[in-house]
Amino acid sequence: MKKNNLKNQIGASLVIALLILLVLTLLGISAISTTTFETNIAGNERLYNRAFYASDAGVDYFFSRGNFYISLPNSMGTVDSRADGLALGGDYFLINNWERIVSDLGPPKKYEFKITSEGISPNFPVAGRVNIEAVVEVVDTTPPPEYPGGST
């Protein structure tokens, strides 16, 4: 009787081994898809960071040219880093608009600029784009004119 029970179990180890192999295959496929997904997330974050820093470079560029922009009208079109010859490693920024607010409370004059800078990191098939809105304060460093009335 024992011999018949053993004959009925022939091939059971093959079925168990195939089931274990199936489970391991599914775990491997899941690990590969997770890795691919994480790689895509890291690539998108890299694009976002590059675009953010390009946009931040636009704010810094505007700030460094603050005294120049005091004499310009409120809007002059778009400032493009590529047109100004600024190399950002393939990335670029656009300063789309600004609004100038003059504080006439006394010398020195203070100017506030509300600017919008857009950083773009071109990449195939999509591009990273980030908009930054910032307020930049510029102080006019020209000395005030002499008082014409003499001493009081």
pLDDT in tens, 111-137: 777 888 888 888 767 778 888 888 877
Residue 24 has pLDDT above 80, yes or no: yes
For residue 101, list its beta bridge partners.
112
Q: Cβ(99)–Cβ(31) under 8 Å?
A: no
Distance, in Å, from the CA atom of 26 to the CA atom of 104, rounded to the nearest integer, reads: 71
* Cβ count near 51 (within 10 Å): 25
In 3D, which of 119, 122, 74 has the Cα closest to residue 101?
74
Distance, in Å, from the CA atom of 147 to the CA atom of 112, rounded to the nearest integer, reads: 27
* Range from 1-15, 21-35, 52-66, 134-148 that averages highest in pLDDT: 21-35
pLDDT in tens, 32-80: 999 999 998 898 888 888 888 888 888 888 877 755 655 655 555 678 8
Distance, in Å, from the CA atom of 137 to the CA atom of 45, rounded to the nearest integer, reads: 31
Ramachandran region, residue 132 (left: φ > 0; alpha: ψ -120 to 50; beta: rest): beta
* Token reading at 147: 């008082």
Residue of higher predicted confidence among 102 and 83: 83
* Range from 9-13, 24-28, 77-81, 109-113 that averages highest in pLDDT: 24-28
Q: Cβ(118)–Cβ(61) under 8 Å?
A: no
The structural domains of the chain, with segments of one domain joined by +, span 2-139
Cα 144 to chain centroid distance, Å, stands at: 41
